[in-house]
Structure 1
Amino acid sequence: ELAVIVARNKNGETKTYPVVEMEFHPEANQVEYVICPARISENVALKARNIALKVANSFQHIGLLAVEMFQTKDDEIIVNEVAPRTHNSGHYSIEASYTSQFEQHLRSILNLPLGNTDSKVAGIMVNLVGEEGFSGNVVYQNIEEILKMDGVTPHIYGKKQTRPFRKMGHVTIVNNDLSEARKIAENVKNTIRVISK
């Protein structure tokens, strides 16, 4: 699955963020990793961005619009879902982009010039969800260990109670090398545990 976030203001100025790739948890059917840039060809990336722009313009949407898409085996792009807001698929932008999706949303709804959507570095987001078998007051076990890792930034959402697969936060990994960022993301995922007291 791929996603593109489109920003559009009242003047009709539009910008797209790079295409991201989403890896899903096989049991929970939740996004586990968001990878930017997506590991796809330039041709497929261009097609995905153009489709996302077409969707946003057809709605005449003001603000951010996350457009989720499936890439078929034949490199066809099928729109799956849209979300008219800041989105999980753009959380990486806080650390990795020149203009975060949150700043961009404010720029677009206030009809200000849109910011640069380019990435400064490769970014990967890891969702933090409650582990199976744990419910109650949340504990982020081993958070100190991931804080020791270069380019790793946790974002905790402040929810006091955890339960299996409840989204509790995310961690962003930035690195000049996407494959290295993906390895660090795996390490983060295997290190931090969202459990209960």
Structure 2
Amino acid sequence: MNAIKLGILGGGQLGRMLLQAGLDFNLYTLVLDPDEYAPCRHLCEEFVHGDFKDYDTVYAFGKRCTHVTIEIEHVNVEALFALEKEGVHVYPKPTSLQTIQDKGLQKEFFLQNSIPTSEFRLLKDASELKNNVDFLPAFQKLRRGGYDGNGVARLSTAEDFPKAFQGPTVLEKLVEFETEISVICARNVQGEVKAFPVVEQVMHPAHNLVDYLLAPAQIAYKLQRMAIEIATHVTTSLDIVGLLAVEMFVTRDGQILVNEVAPRPHNSGHHTMKANATSQFEQHLRAILGLPLGDTEPHCPAVLVNLLGEAGFSGEAVYEGLEATLQEPGVHIHLYGKKFTRPFRKMGHLTVLAPTIEEVKQKADTIKNRLKIIA
């Protein structure tokens, strides 16, 4: 393993946790990120301050690596094609990433591969909205570049058109759903596939970020099996090597529809660091290095609570209530190495563990508002 030089495009918290898992594999790690204060900066052997969207920067970075992976989708895929052609192991594969980077191509791929998803229309620009009033209410999504709730607008009536995005977008029919779930699948170089158990995501009502996550999801066993089958089908159809997070809706009439996918470690898998036999980060490394995949079984139920910067505070982060939070047994904190907070910035997460689902929910409700991130 010492001969492996792993390059990671992106130096945020996902890369940070991937690096932490990589310590057990004796990997030589390099990270490329445009933020000179990125959370990964002091955890890798080499930190390169540069733009992962720039062809020349990504190509030059990748030439120093034996393997290249990502912690964010929005990277220069043309450079990755060139690196792959020259023998660098690039995972996820550039062909997979190219489809996923564009939400319009994603939705078309779902249709072409019999993957259940919501109705949608592709718009060249906002001027086409006037011809699609019959499709409302709907969500408008930027085809490229959106993340963590950015690049998504709800359009209920034509009166909402002034807030619509310009440029190419996807218009997705509003889905009346009971539950939002996620399945993280891993597929290694040899084609072995393993899925983590289904988790349930509860979104923040105002900011389109995961507020907290419940593992395992409290849905019928039949729906759990269906969700894992769908996620596995998506993973193999996209020819993924590494992780694929598949976010889905459980509708009121018992259907499961794929919302969108992410070919990297994902917020809906952070609890696996403490709650499962293998973490999503270790599993990603196993997959891209061609190693056998690890056991995905949970040790116990878990709740993941995202730690977001409080509204009205910007500046150097202060963690108020940290001691009181950690007095509770079974509560584990993971901070992301971000010096400065701002409203609703992801600063870390809590993993709450307990023997039963009832206990873990009660414990999470008790502690989730104790810790506040202010400035």
What TM-score does the superposition give when structure 2 sets the normalisation length?
A: 0.52
Partners of 1:139 and 1:185 lie apart in 2 by 21
Gaps of 5+ in 1: none
Aligned residues: 196
Find out whether 1:118 has 2:285 as its counterpart: no
Q: 1:7-26 CA distances to partner (integer Å, 9 max, x unpaired)?
A: 00111100000000000111
Percent identity reads 52
User: 1:14 is aligned with what amino acid?
Assistant: V
Identify the residue that residue 4 of structure 1 maps to in structure 2.
183
Larger radius of gyration between Structure 1 and Structure 2: 2
Identify the residue that residue 90 of structure 1 maps to in structure 2.
269
Moved more, 111-120 or 177-186: 177-186
Q: 1:1-47 CA distances to partner (integer Å, 9 max, x unpaired)?
A: 10000000111100000000000111112101111000000000001
Partners of 1:163 and 1:75 lie apart in 2 by 39
Identify the residue that residue 30 of structure 1 maps to in structure 2.
209
Which protein, 1 or 2, shows the higher relative CO under an 8 Å CA cutoff with sep ≥ 6?
Answer: 1
Partners of 1:169 and 1:97 lie apart in 2 by 19
Which of these residues, 329, 351, 363, is aligned with residue 172 of structure 1? 351
Find out whether 1:139 has 2:318 as its counterpart: yes
User: 1:55 is aligned with what amino acid?
Assistant: V
Task: Give the alignment of 1:20-169 within 5 angstroms.
Answer: 20-169=199-348
* SS of structure 1 residue aligned to 2:287: helix
Q: 1:66-105 CA distances to partner (integer Å, 9 max, x unpaired)?
A: 0000110011111111011111000000000000111111
What stretches of structure 1 move > 4 A for 4+ residues in a row?
A: none
State the shift of 1:186 in Å: 1.6
Identify the residue that residue 371 of structure 2 maps to in structure 1.
192
Identify the residue that residue 16 of structure 2 maps to in structure 1.
none
* SS of structure 1 residue aligned to 2:323: helix
Q: 1:88-139 CA distances to partner (integer Å, 9 max, x unpaired)?
A: 0000000000001111111100111100000011111000001111111101
Identify the residue that residue 181 of structure 1 maps to in structure 2.
360
CA RMSD of aligned residues (A): 0.7
Partners of 1:150 and 1:170 lie apart in 2 by 16
* SS of structure 2 residue aligned to 1:154: strand
Partners of 1:173 and 1:12 lie apart in 2 by 33
State the shift of 1:157 in Å: 0.4
Gaps of 5+ in 2: 1-179
State the shift of 1:190 in Å: 1.4
Partners of 1:66 and 1:29 lie apart in 2 by 17
Partners of 1:140 and 1:186 lie apart in 2 by 19
